[in-house]
Structure 1
Amino acid sequence: MEEIRFCPEHGFYRGEVCHCGKKGEMILDKEKVEKLGRFISGVLRHFPERFGLEMDENGWVDFEKLVKVARRKFKWANRWLIKALVYSDSKGRYEIKDGKIRAKYGHSVNVELNDYPIAEEEVLYYGTSEEEAQRMLEIGIKPVNQTYVHLSTTIEKSEEVARLRTDDPIILEIDAKKARENGIRIIKANKYIALAKEIPPQYIKRVIKL
């Protein structure tokens, strides 16, 4: 976990030094980044109702209401620090727009995400273990503890995900073009992540052993 700093020229960033070489002002230390990050992730992905927040079908909640909830949890939290957390996140986990905030992916709550663009990639990837890969070749890829299956736009990103769970990752290559043509909705969460409710086995076109 990296600290968050503010560069007068380039805004919020994570780590000690901005890409321009300057060491900006400390905004959040590592411990607070982890605490606030876990809390915001939990509220926006898993349990908004626990804190009285209304979430619409696209995952949005009122930003100022989230700020109030966060301040009740952490006296030091404020809207500035939440924005720092969001805008410094290189993984694009969150989005702030028109007075609202949402998690871009990782939901276990039921969201439709109808305002996401359709993923246009012809091929997508899913990283997993060899044991799970064999099962998915039979029944397809289904979400586990999440609302959507999370697909990667590159082999490298799918490998990163898989290595969180196994030392010997297997990459499943998905025929995204054919899946879309046959009515499977695949949407784009950010540059590296696409989402689908499930991927039936007939769209797994290749197994890549690394």
Structure 2
Amino acid sequence: MEEQQLIRLSKRMSKALRHDPARLGLTLDPAGWVPVADLLRALGVTRADLDEVVENNNKKRFAFDASGSRIRASQGHSVPVDLGLVPVPPPVVLYHGTVAAALESIKAEGLRPMNRHHVHLSATRDTAVAVGARRGKPVILVIQAARMAAEGHEFYISANGVWLTDHVPPGYLTG
């Protein structure tokens, strides 16, 4: 499959598995899983196409269960799901890529999940740069994650390595 086809299918899968499953007649279970057969039918693609997207998606957004018969998005849902994530100690700092237009709001309110379940953070500055660059010239914020955790904030890590937390108050941000 060509790269543009992979990207288009990945975006359709994101919409179906993270934001609007009902639009395609899908129902996610409470943990976000959907039978692979149902997704294939809804998207009109082959299992080989689906496997290629899961394997080659640069952000590893999707995962199969141990049996390979169910699939879900690893994080980023705007629909109710419980991914079963458990709190884990974060590194000393984490990063968030954004753009200058968002800074005033972030400085006032901190980082909020917006229409998602959690704020998404990166373990590396390079990843944050790539995330921020999707919307323009990136601005990288440094999150004092260990201090946040020591002061009672919980962190999670998704199956694809994205760090998640409920909110990052402004006092924990630099950059």
Bucket of the pairwise TM-score, normalised by the shorter protein: 0.7 to 0.9
TM-score by length of 2: 0.85
Q: Percent identity?
A: 31
Structure 2 unaligned segments of length 5 or more: list them: none
Q: Is the Cα contact below 8 Å between 2:87 and 2:154 reproduced in 1? A: no
Which of 89, 94, 97 is equivalent to 2:62? 94
Q: How many residues are matched?
A: 173
Is residue 62 of structure 1 aligned with residue 35 of structure 2? yes
The corresponding residue for 1:112 is 82
Q: 1:89 to 1:52 in 2, by over 3 A?
A: same
Q: Which has the higher contact order (CA 8 A, sep 6+)?
A: 2
Q: Distance in 2 between matches of 1:122 and 1:66?
A: 39
TM-score by length of 1: 0.72
Q: Deviations over 1:120-175 (max 9, x none)?
A: 322101122234223212211012333321111111111121122232x3221111
- For the pair shown, the structure with the greater C-alpha radius of gyration is 1
Return the structure number with greater helix share: 2
Amino acid of the residue matched to residue 83 of structure 1? D
Q: Distance in 2 between matches of 1:116 and 1:52?
A: 30
Q: Deviations over 1:15-53 (max 9, x none)?
A: xxxxxxxxxxxxx23453243222212101111122232
Q: How does 1:147-162 map to 2 (within 5 A)?
A: 147-162=117-132
Q: Is the Cα contact below 8 Å between 2:10 and 2:57 reproduced in 1? A: no
Structure 1 unaligned segments of length 5 or more: list them: 1-27, 72-76
Q: How does 1:29-108 map to 2 (within 5 A)?
A: 29-71=2-44, 77-97=45-65, 98=67, 99-108=69-78
Q: Is the Cα contact below 8 Å between 1:119 and 1:194 reproduced in 2? A: no
SS in 1 for 2:91: coil
Q: Distance in 1 between matches of 2:92 and 2:11?
A: 34
Q: Distance in 1 between matches of 2:122 and 2:91?
A: 10
Q: CA deviation at 1:116?
A: 5.6
The corresponding residue for 1:188 is 157
Q: Is the Cα contact below 8 Å between 2:89 and 2:146 reproduced in 1? A: no
Which of 115, 118, 128 is equivalent to 2:98? 128
Return the structure number with greater strand share: 1
SS in 1 for 2:59: coil
The corresponding residue for 1:21 is none
